[in-house]
Amino acid sequence: MKQIEVFQMLADQTRLRALFLMQSQRELCVCELVAALKLSQPKISRHLGALRDAGLLISRRDAQWVFYQINQAMPDWQQQALTAALSGIKNETILRQDARRLAEMKNRPDLGSAD
């Protein structure tokens, strides 16, 4: 059943937008995704939790921040499905808008304490 769950995760626009941003970043916190996607914190957190539970993301806590990144240890088939999904949407205007909002975000958390 896990395979079906992964494809369900990749069929959601909000989740794909978050994954698309994460593929070009070391990791992102919930607050960065809230700013970039212009969605509420509870909605973002719910989607990120679902992606983590499906094995697509991993998370770590640093003080008040929860950082997420794409799970590099996912099975090959899962990585291929994710790569294909993100490649298929790469020219969507909304993704450029998300990336611009992320780049313009002020007071992003310091990643210096990562690792």
pTM over 0.85: yes
| 91, part of any domain | yes
How does pLDDT run across 4-33, given as a tens digit for each residue?
A: 999 999 999 999 999 999 998 889 999 999
Domain of 43, CATH number, reads 1.10.10.10
| 115, part of any domain | no
| 63, part of any domain | yes
Among 48, 56, 55, smallest CA distance to 18 is for 48
Q: Give alpha helix (H) positions in 1-115.
A: 2-9, 13-23, 30-37, 41-53, 76-89, 93-104
Domain range holding 91? Answer: 2-96
In the chain, the number of structural domains is 1
